[in-house]
Amino acid sequence: MEQQWRKLDGTLVGQPIADEIREVVAREKAAGHELKVCIGADSQVKGSVTEFATVIVFIRKGKGGFMYILPEVSRRKMSIKERMLLEVAKSIDAAYGLYRIFALYGIEMELHADINANPKFRSNEALKEAMGYIMGLGFVFRAKPHAFASSSCANKVVQ
């Protein structure tokens, strides 16, 4: 079964995510909100499955925020490095489909990776590849502890 984007309250998005985002951005801009977007993903291994959550987090500067979530499940066994890079790929996939909308409205966008910059942590194995992958596509990259979209927002969905 194909997963579907949803809002934080669980409401399913009934149209392609790009159409939803285009409408939301137009509405938010018309309301005078200054927006920033952070896209990230996280995963959690639970027995024989790995749960993923990709998030698109909108920050209304000085006025809170909201987010969209794409939950996914994989039964494929993978190393931590492979899992971290798959999280990054999911974030890039979401960003790639939306960056033109954000550019049109002058909205700053960052990609957040749930990868620790400290080499003492296992996720650090994927840091160089993730950073190169994201920055090579021209996106702004953030890793822990500055990657709240993945390490806080997406993390809450898969916990």
What are the pLDDT tens digits along the chain (159 aa)? 357 999 999 999 999 999 999 999 999 999 999 999 999 999 999 999 999 999 999 999 999 999 999 999 999 999 988 988 899 999 999 999 999 999 999 999 999 988 877 778 777 777 888 888 888 988 999 988 888 898 888 877 776
pLDDT value of position 129 = 83
- Extents of the domains making up the chain: 6-158
- Which residue, among 41, 24, 19, has the nearest Cα to 112 in the 3D structure? 41
Q: Starting at the edge strand that comes first in sequence, how are the strands of the sheet with 49-60 ordered?
A: 6-7, 65-74, 49-60, 35-46, 108-116, 140-144
Q: What is the C-alpha to C-alpha distance for residues 86 and 82, in angstroms, rounded to an integer?
A: 6
What is the predicted pLDDT for the residue at 124?
72
**43-53 b/e (C-beta count within 10 Å ≥ 16 → b):** beeeeeebbbb
Spatial neighbors of 29 by CB under 8 A, at least 6 apart, are 35, 105
Q: What pLDDT is recorded for position 1?
A: 39
Predicted pLDDT of residue 159: 65
Beta-bridged to residue 57, according to DSSP, are 38, 67
What is the model's pTM? 0.91
What pLDDT score does 157 carry?
Answer: 77
